[in-house]
Every structure is written in C-alpha cells, then in structure tokens.
Structure 1
Amino acid sequence: MSSARPARTQPRLRGYQGYSETHPRTEETAAIARRLARAACATWALPNEVTEPVALVVSELASNAVRHARGPSVRVTVDRPDPDRVYVAVVDRAPWRFPELRTPGPEELCGRGLLLIEALSERWGYDRLGPAGRPWGKRCWATLKVAR
C-alpha cells in the first residue's frame, strides 16, 4: 500500500472543465491516467469511440514517463480546449529524454506506444519546461479530434 497522499484533481474554472492530477511515478499511474481520461470524457458526454482512444493515449504517455523519466511524480492532464478536441499531457522531470518514434522489430516487447499515439492523435509532441538553459522537465502531449 502506498503512503502517498491522494491526488487532488484541479478543475479549470472557465469553458469545458479540464482535469489535472499529480501521481507518484509508479506503474499504477498509467491505469490512474486511464481512469481520469474516462471520467473526464464521461463528464463531457463524449461517446466511447472518443473516450477509449483518449484513455489509451494518455496511458501510453504516462507509461513512457514512468519508464523513462526521473523524479518521484508525474502530472497528468486531460483537457478540452474546444468542442472539437481533447488534449492530454503528462509532465515529467526528464527534460533531456525525448519521445522517439521508431518501428520495433517483431520480437521486441516494447516500443509501440508512440506508434499508437501517432495513429490515434490529430497531433502530438513535447515541450521542455523551465528556463531555456536549465529546463526542469518536459510535457508530452497529444490532441485527439472529437467527431461530430
């Protein structure tokens, strides 16, 4: 059992509500990120054909942060910047470790997460956070189109 404090969800005050939580950088964080995405999509009354890709993309971003970043925690965001898009992001403390799209061999067990993100997202990328000469972390993000 983890001794970490429960996450405090912080809703946005205007427009569509967005959600952001900080969690320990552990394997369980991907499942927690999926639940947050599903809860946000349910709040927005989005259909399952939108909800499940959003949940998969945010869990892949969280898994990558858990596997490749450093530091005790990651921040997961699920937002709806406009009626046609859902934005997901994970902030970690590895400003020099960038996501790298590659094609894994058929026998490799890992390396397909960014391919899924690429296939399901309208756009994806990353931003360094902090001063240019001394960044403290990065935000990996994706936007998904909401079908109308």
Structure 2
Amino acid sequence: MQTKLPQDIEWRLPRHARSVSRTRLLFREQAGSWALPQEITETAELLLSELMTNAYRHARVPAGREIWARAILTEDRLRVLVTDASVHFRCRERRPWRMSRVGGWRWW
C-alpha cells in the first residue's frame, strides 16, 4: 500500500552545533523511507546542513530555544525548511549598485 502524498516531517532540535549533524542523520533516514533518489537526498541534505548551520550560528535567541527543521514531499518536489527561534530579521542596507564596482553579482 502506497502512502498518500504530501508527506511531511518536522524535527525540533536545540540550538547547538550537534543539532546540525543530528538533522542530517534524521533527514537521511527519512529520505530512505521515502525512497528518494540518491542525488536528491544528497542535495537536500547539503542544503539542510547549511540552513541549520546558519540558524545555529546567527540566530540571536535566548538560551533553550529550538531550531525547527521540516521536510515536505509532494508528487513533484521536496521542500526543506529551517526556522530559528529569533524574532529579529537583519536586513542589509541597500546601497546603490554601480557597474564600476568590482566583484560580486549584487546578491543581497
């Protein structure tokens, strides 16, 4: 019997460096149960690892707050989300872009 899509799983982990590797392991196990192709699993695992690392390193939150990771599988896509417990969102100041400026591709 095939499981109906979408399938959705969420993990709540402490804001700690060990949570990054723990999330990779949890996702890899879930991807196996979903029978995801290896290439998709590896790409999603890398993305999840980067997002978890950013949430762990850059979220300004009180002690004891969690990072939430979520994976949603639908018929045509896998969606990976990470939410930190911060209520702050730092926006970079937008500066005028000049063609003469060296380096970068205006990614902000």
| Structure 2: 5+ residue stretches without partners | 93-108
Contact 1:30 1:63 in 2 (8 A): yes
User: Looking at both structures, which has the greater relative contact order when contacts are Cα pairs under 8 Å and sequence separation is at least 6?
Assistant: 2
2:50 aligned to which of 43, 56, 60: 60
Give the structure with higher Rg (CA).
Answer: 2
Which residue pairs with 2:104 in the alignment? Answer: none
Work out whether residues 78 and 87 of structure 1, in 8 Å CA contact, stay in contact via their aligned partners in 2: yes
CA distance in 2, matches of 1:36, 1:44: 12
Aligned residues: 87
Measured in 2, the distance between the counterparts of 1:64 and 1:99 equals 15
Residues 49-106 of structure 1: CA deviation (Å, up to 9, x unaligned): 11011111011111100001124211111111x2221111111122323587xxxxxx
Provide TM-score, normalisation by structure 2: 0.70
Matches within 5 A, 1:1-148: 15-69=5-59, 70-71=61-62, 72-80=65-73, 82-98=74-90
What is the rounded CA distance, in whole Å, between the counterparts of 1:73 and 1:50 in structure 2? 26
- TM-score normalised to the size of structure 1? 0.52
Unaligned stretches of 5+ residues in structure 1: 1-12, 101-148
Letter in 2 for 1:96: H
1:47 to partner: Cα distance: 1.4
Structure 2: distance between partners of 1:98 and 1:60: 18
Aligned-residue identity in percent:
31
SS in 1 for 2:47: helix
CA positional deviation for 1:21:
1.2
- 8 Å CA contact 1:18–1:77 kept in 2: the answer is yes
